[in-house]
Structures are given as C-alpha cells and as structure tokens.
Amino acid sequence: MSNGVRAQQREQTRQTLLRESRRLFATLGYGSVHLSEIVRAAGVTKGALYHHFDSKAELFRAVLTQVQQEVAARVAATADAREDAWEQLSEGCQAFLTATTDPSVQRVLLVDGPAVLGWRNWRELTEATSGRHLAQALAALIEEGTIPPQPVAPLTHLLSGAMNEAALWLTDAEDPTALEDTRRALTRVLSALRTP
C-alpha cells in the first residue's frame, strides 16, 4: 500500500471520527458521550482514535473548531454578498444569530464549548474566527465614518458578548417569536452605533 493511500485512509478515518463525535456531542452533550460510543459509531478501534486525538477533550476541541469555522464561513458569506459595509455588518450579525439557532451548533459552540475548554480557550477560538471578521467590519465602518471614531477592540468584545449571550438565551427560549424579537433588538442596537 502506498504512502498516498495510507494518508488518504488516515484522513478519512479522522473525518469519520469528527463527523460521528460531532453528531454524538451535539445530540447527547460532551459529558454524556464516552469514547467507546464514538469508536463504535465511527467503526474504528480506540487505537485509531488515539492515533488522531490524545483525548476526548482534544477531539471535542477539533469538533468545536470545525463548528466555529462553519459558522464564521456562513456569516462571512452572508456579509460578503452585500456591497455596503454597513449592510455587511448588519447582515453578518443577523446571520450569526440565525446560525446559532441550530441545536447542534448551540450545544457544541455555546453550551459545551466554554464548559469543556474553559472560558479563556473558548474565547481565543471565537476571536480567531467570528471575532476577527467582526473587528474587521467595525474597523472599516469607523474608517469610512459610518461609526464614530473609537477603539475597535472594546466595541468588538461588547457586540460579540451581546450576540453570544443572545444566542445562548435562544437555546432555551420557548417563545416562537424569540428569534425574530432578538433580531429586531439587534437591529436597534446596531443602529445606535451609527454616526448621527
């Protein structure tokens, strides 16, 4: 068997582990999933799992990273579809709220993510994806004068924190209008940032 075929099989095994562990983590929650369930669902041995990941926490971190990247890509694609920088910010923020209403995203990204990795590590991952896009959008709006001059970092953290908290609140919201109410509230918050 050639090295190329082995590498392809290793990558296929890794992707299968990620897919099956993501499904289990999203459905049952990190604390309720055992490695034996993951290897059984993936159809691999524990040795194969440990070849790719040192621990369940490392596997979860890989799943969380994947989820964060997907959410960030969805937000960026929504924002990039707009020409106007303000619409890019507004639509990107709305896309984040919508993306995080997916129960599998909520469980992995918002509920278990901070609990498993710890707040600081979770924030670092968030800042590397969605946070970076948000900071760039705000900086562009400040530069063009749409938002009054101010430091970008605190504004980014305030908006990011508000949206994360709203998304987390939506995980338990039973009111069928909760998402639309939250989207309208976000529109009002963002509008208040604009230069009069």
Q: Give the model confidence (pLDDT) of 101-147 as tens digits.
A: 888 899 999 999 999 999 899 888 888 888 888 999 999 999 999 99
Mean pLDDT across the chain? 93
Instruction: Return the percentage of the chain with pLDDT > 90, whole number.
Output: 78
pLDDT of amino acid 131: 84
Secondary element (H or E) of residue 186: helix 178-191
Query: In whole angstroms, what is the distance from residue 122 CA to residue 61 CA?
Result: 9
pLDDT of amino acid 1: 65
DSSP state of 79: H
pLDDT of amino acid 125: 85
Q: Provide the whole-model pTM.
A: 0.88
H helices present in 81-177, as ranges = 85-99, 103-105, 113-117, 119-126, 132-144, 152-172
Which pLDDT band holds residue 56 (cuts at 50, 70, 90)?
very high
- The Cα-based distances of 162 to 52, 80, 109, 124, 158 in angstroms read 36, 22, 15, 17, 6
Contact 68, 108 (CB under 8 A): no
